[in-house]
Amino acid sequence: MPTQLRRRSGKVVLVTLSAPLALALLLTASGAASAQTPVAATELRREAEQLRSQRRFPEALAAYRATTAAATAADQPADFEDRFWIAKLESWTGALDSAEQHLVQLLAERPDDYDSQIALADVRRWRGDVAGARAVLAMLQQTHPDDPEVASRVAALRSAGQGPRWEAGLEYAGERYPGGAASDGATIGLRALGRHRFRWGAAVTVQDKFDRTETRGGGDVGLHVSRALELTGTAYVAPNAEVLPRGTFGMGLTALAARGLLLSADYRHDAYADAQVHGVGPSLEWYTGPWLLAARYRYTATRFDGVSGTAGDHAGLGSVGYQYGLANIVRVFGFVGGESFGEPSRDRIGSTDGRGAGLAWRQFVSPVMGFEAVYAFDDRTGIGTRHSFGVRLVRRW
């Protein structure tokens, strides 16, 4: 008897068809495709399935999309199965937002489709939407109480909710100036993870710059006053410092304005040995599929000791990032204006003309081990081109 391949949570199940049913399916397929290139449509689907079996997911996704496009061009409804695999492959290739939208549409047509429900639970869990994933799995537990696929995802969600509680980081940062001047520093930090309403982090930096070795310590806190609103605070001190600010104090507000869109505003005061710098400005981050777009504007007002009047500077930064996996991202960024967006330092104030660009990469080699690397250069009037670079190792537990 002829057989047909069916899906079930990534598994392939052989379903035996009777001869009359197989004949009916063949007649239906040939009749539906006769309006436009039936052989091409069949070949596209066969190619998509083959590419998927070979784990060539981006190519398989393109083939499934071509199959549904061919059906649309022939005034035929796109096959439910083809659309399911488009959503599934989108989730496997990082397009989580699009995958969720397509799965929601499929479930609007077939609310009890098991595989679409499982896929939607996976996508929401990968996006960090624990409540959304839990809601889908709760419905599946009612309809499939003994299903091992559902049970394994419930357990994974429970484990994810009890993920790493701490993160330790060790960072090296260096700068090179025209004429051979150099700066080197190391930072060790500890951050609390997994807190729903309150988070905090602490760090200590030792820096050698301009023939001075200085130490700076402090931390930051964040309080979620609601699901869409977080208040933040920052405080660092460096006693008797000449290059680093002796005190840094700041506060900020971050709001989830729309799906994938974060709006922030912050104020920071850097108190140097001979200057007071006040900075304020808004920023935004927009997560759209695997892409992250960010922009930031900052106005700073600087008053030097013994000098009347205040110098005002404007600065802007823009970046584009590509996210892959669950926590990995590559970003390119550029900035212009009177303030570098790196760590505060005495040589970074008092200049009104500068521009620069850089590249950053964050990669987790396991769920608990990762690193970040960054390089940037900036050209400032009277200083020349400065090169900045750093690498940070992260360990979670």
pLDDT of 18 reads 35
Instruction: Give the separation between CA 316 and CA 312, rounded to whole angstroms.
Output: 14
Q: Is 97 helix (H, G, I), strand (E, B) or coil?
A: helix
* Short-list 306, 353, 359, 313, CA closest to 332: 359
Q: Which pLDDT belongs to residue 185?
A: 97
The reported pLDDT for the residue numbered 27 is: 33
Q: Report the helix count and the strand count for the chain, using DSSP H and E.
A: 8, 16
Tokens of 46: 């066969």
Could you tell me if 12 and 5 are in contact, meaning their C-beta atoms sit under 8 angstroms apart?
Answer: yes
Backbone angles phi, psi at 353, to 5 degrees: -140, 115
Contact 25, 17 (CB under 8 A): yes
Q: What pLDDT shows up at residue 257?
A: 87
Q: Which of 254, 185, 192 is nearest to 219 (CA)?
A: 192
> What whole-number distance in Å separates Cα of residue 252 and Cα of residue 189?
21
Q: How far apart are CA 71 and CA 79, in angstroms?
A: 8
pLDDT in tens, the chain (397 residues): 343 344 544 443 333 333 333 333 333 334 433 344 555 667 788 888 888 888 888 888 888 888 888 888 877 888 898 899 999 999 898 888 899 999 999 999 999 899 999 999 999 888 878 888 888 998 898 888 888 999 888 887 776 655 678 899 999 999 998 888 899 999 999 999 766 688 899 999 999 999 999 999 999 999 988 878 999 999 999 999 999 999 999 999 999 888 789 999 999 999 999 999 999 999 999 988 789 999 999 999 999 998 888 888 899 999 999 988 767 899 999 999 866 567 889 988 876 578 899 999 999 887 789 999 999 998 877 778 889 999 999 998 8
Prediction pTM value:
0.63
Nearest to 114 by CA among 3, 18, 13, 2: 13
Sorted by sequence, the CB contacts under 8 Å of residue 253 that are 6+ apart come out as 229, 230, 231, 232, 264, 265, 266
Tokens of 364: 């987790």
Is 297 within 8 Å of 264 (Cβ atoms)?
no
CB 121 within 8 A of CB 88: no
* Residue 85, Cβ density class (10 Å: 0-12 exposed, 13-18 middle, ≥19 buried): buried
What residues form DSSP beta bridges with 72?
Answer: none
> Which pair of structure tokens corresponds to residue 302?
């600087």
Burial of 155 (0-12, 13-18, 19+ CB in 10 A): exposed
Q: Provide the residue type at 357 as one letter.
A: A
Residue 19 has a pLDDT of 34
pLDDT at position 215: 98
Please give the angle made by the CA atoms of 22, 26 and 30, to the nearest 5 degrees.
170
Distance of CA 5 to the CA centre of its chain: 36
Nearest CA-CA partner of 51 in 36, 65, 64, 38: 64
Whole-number Å distance between alpha carbons of 86 and 95: 11
pLDDT at 14: 35
For 176-224, the DSSP string reads: E-GGG-EEEEEEEEEEE---SSEEEEEEEEEEEETTEEEEEEEEEEEEE
